[in-house]
Structure 1
Amino acid sequence: MQSFLKAAGWCALSAGAAAIDCSGINALSPKCNSTEAAYTRDFFYVGGEYVSSTVSGQSIFTGQMYVEKLTPVRGINQTYPLVFVSAGVPSGTVWLNTPDNRKGWASYFVEAGYQVYIVDITGNGRGGQYDVAAFHLRFGSTDNITQDGFTAPELAAHPYPQAGGHDKWPGAGVRGDPVFDAFQVSIVPLAANSTTQERTMRVAGCALLAIIGESVTFCHSGSCQYTVLMADECPDLLRASINLEPSCLPFQSLLGNPAGPDG
C-alpha cells in the first residue's frame, strides 16, 4: 500500500500526526481544503460610461459594476438567478467564505443548485476606474466601528439592550483576535458621493438584470438602498428582494445617521 501511495504521488500521514490548523488565513496553505462549493467562475463588468476626466482631460470609463458569475458544477436546478449585493464594507467577497474560513452564503446556494452572481458596487472594490471629482473616497470602517457595530457590540455602551446578548461572532471580536483582524483587513474605501453612487448603481444594477433575466436580489445594510433603486427602475426584472438588516429602515445607526458631503 505504501509503495502504491508513493507511485500515485500521495503523502500518507501517520496516525499520530498533528492536525493541520486551517482556520482564518491559515487556509491559504496548500495543505488545507477549500470550504467553498464547487463551481465554475466567470467575471465581467456592466453599466458605466465614457466621461472626460477632470484630472487628465482625457476620457475614462467609469461607473461600471464588477460581477462574478458562479455556476454550480452539478448543474442549475433552480428557476431564478440570485444576485448578491454588498454594502462595500467589505466588497462582494463578503458573500464567499467567512473570516474564520467557514462556508459563506454563496456556497450554500450554489450547492442548492442556484446560479449565483456577486457584485462589487460601483466605485468600490474591483469596480474599475473612477474620476476623483465624482467618486472621492472615505474610509470604510475603523477598528472601533467594526468592533462596536458588528463583532462585539456586547462590550460597548449601546442605546439598545439587545446588544448585550450578542454572541454570534467567532472569536473575541476585538482588535488583535485573528478572526477580527481577518475581517478588518478586508475593509475597502467607500465612495463619499452618495448621489453618484446611487445613480450609477441604478443603471448598472438594471443592466445586469437585463442580461440575466428575472432574478432575486440579496442585500445587506447599505447595499439595500441599491436594490430598492433597481426595483424602482426595472421592477419587471426583479422577482424578489431579500433585505438583511437594511439601512433603509427609519432607525438610528451606530454613528447616529451623520450627514455626509451630500447632506
Structure 2
Amino acid sequence: MNVSFSKIARQNVTISEITSFHIGGDTVELSNQPRLMMRVAGEGMAREVDLNGSYVTGQLYANHVKLAAPRHAEPVMFWHGGAMTGVTWETTPDGRPGWQWLFLQAGYDVIVTDAVERGRASWSPFPQIYDTGPVFRTKEEAWSMYRVGARSSYAAREPYQGQRFPVSAFDALAAQLVPRWTTHDDMTLDAYQALLEKVGPVHLVAHSQGGWFALNMVRRVPHLVRSVVVIEPAGAPRLASEDVACMGDIPHLFIWGDFIDEVPSWKKYRAATDQYREVLAAAGKQTREMDLPVMGIRGNSHVPMMDDNSADIAALVVDWLAQNPGAAI
C-alpha cells in the first residue's frame, strides 16, 4: 500500500503564537528536612540549601503552537509513552520532521505534552513526596520492547528483517529515555483532565502508555475529545455498559505496527485493546483498526512516528481525521 504525506493539501506554516505552561498538581509542604551547605554553581561559595517548605507536585507541561490560519477548529494534542517525553513528536531520531511539524503543515494547531514527572513537567522529592524511586529503561529493553529486534540481537545491532526504524539512530532514541514512576496513574489522569479542561476539545493522538491514559480519559471527559487515535496502546481499560453509554460517539482509531508476535507483552497489550475495541464496535460506536502489516505496510516498530515511513503513517491519520472529525456531545 503506497501512501504519501505529499498527497495532503499543505500550506506554508505561518505560526501566530507559541505558548507553554504547566497545569495540574497540588502543593505539598515538607518539614523536618535536612539543611545542606553546598555549592550550587560552579566554583562559587557554598551556601545553605533549606529543603523545608512547599513543593508543587503532580503537574504536567504543555507546549501549544498556534497557526495564523488553522484549517481545523480543534487542535491535535499529542501524548507520549512510557519512559518518553514530548520529544517523541518533535523530530525523528535521525533528524526528519516529526509529527508536530507534519500536523502543523496539515493545518492543525498542535499541543505537545510532557506527562507528570517526565521531562519539563519535573520531578518531586522521593521518598518524601513520591513514595518510590523511579524506574529506568535500558537500551536493551528499549531495543526489544520497541520491537527493533530481539533482545538477544541487541549487542550485534541486528534488527528484525524489514525493520523500518532507522537503526543507525537507535542511540539517539535511547538518549531521549527518561526515568518514570509506575505508581502515578491517578495523578497523571488528573493532570491530563485539567489540561483538557483548559484547552479542549481536541483531537487526541496518544502512544503506548499515553494510549492507555487516553482511553481512560474518553470516559472521564468525553465532551472534550473530538476523536482519539491510539498508536500501539499499552493495554486498555475494561469497559462497562455505563462507560460506553456516557462516551457519546467519539471516533476511535487504533494503529498497530509489525513484529507483535515476537514480544509476549505486546500480544497481551493488544488482546486487552482488541477487547476494548470490540465492546465499542458491538455498541455501534465508530472504531477503526489500522493493522499496518495487514494493510501491506510491513516493518514498522513500536514507534511508527519515528520509522522511515513516519510521514506516510501521519498521512493515514490526517486522512482518517478528515473523514471522522468527531462531533460535540
TM score, norm. by length of structure 2: 0.57
1:75-94 to 2 correspondence within 5 Å?
75-94=69-88
Residue 247 (str. 1) matches residue 227 (str. 2):
no
Find the partner of 1:71 among 63, 66, 74: 66
2:107 alignment counterpart: 113
State how far apart, in whole Å, the 2-side matches of 1:256 and 1:229 are. Answer: 18
Contact conserved, 1:53 with 1:131, CA < 8 A, in 2?
A: no
2:26 alignment counterpart: 49
1:199-210 to 2 correspondence within 5 Å?
199-210=186-197
Cα distance change on mapping 1:43 and 1:88 into 2, 3 Å: farther
Residue 167 (str. 1) matches residue 163 (str. 2):
yes
Contact conserved, 2:89 with 2:99, CA < 8 A, in 1?
A: yes
Question: Which has the larger displacement, 243-252 or 82-91?
Answer: 243-252
Name the SS for the 1:146 alignment partner. Answer: helix
Shift, 1:154, TM fit: 5.8
State how far apart, in whole Å, the 2-side matches of 1:53 and 1:223 are. Answer: 31
State how far apart, in whole Å, the 2-side matches of 1:128 and 1:148 are. Answer: 28
1:229 alignment counterpart: 216
Contact conserved, 1:139 with 1:189, CA < 8 A, in 2?
A: yes
2:177 alignment counterpart: 187
Shift, 1:152, TM fit: 2.7
Gap runs ≥5 in structure 1: 1-36, 158-162, 258-263
State how far apart, in whole Å, the 2-side matches of 1:127 and 1:238 are. Answer: 23
C-alpha deviations, 1:50-78, integer Å up to 9, x for none? 11237545221110000000123x52110
State how far apart, in whole Å, the 1-side matches of 2:83 and 2:233 are. Answer: 14
Shift, 1:187, TM fit: 0.9
1:205-224 to 2 correspondence within 5 Å?
205-224=192-211
Gap runs ≥5 in structure 2: 1-12, 34-50, 154-158, 238-262, 270-329
Percentage of identical aligned residues: 24
Name the SS for the 1:191 alignment partner. Answer: coil
C-alpha deviations, 1:22-81, integer Å up to 9, x for none? xxxxxxxxxxxxxxx664421001101111237545221110000000123x52110221
Query: How large is the RMSD of aligned CA atoms in angstroms?
Result: 2.8
State how far apart, in whole Å, the 1-side matches of 2:103 and 2:124 are. Answer: 32
Shift, 1:165, TM fit: 4.2
TM score, norm. by length of structure 1: 0.70
Residue 144 (str. 1) matches residue 143 (str. 2):
no
2:42 alignment counterpart: none
Moved over 6 A (4+): 254-257
Question: Which has the larger displacement, 121-130 or 225-234?
Answer: 225-234
Cα distance change on mapping 1:86 and 1:137 into 2, 3 Å: farther
Cα distance change on mapping 1:139 and 1:38 into 2, 3 Å: farther
State how far apart, in whole Å, the 2-side matches of 1:152 and 1:203 are. Answer: 33
Number of residues paired by the alignment? Answer: 207
2:95 alignment counterpart: 101
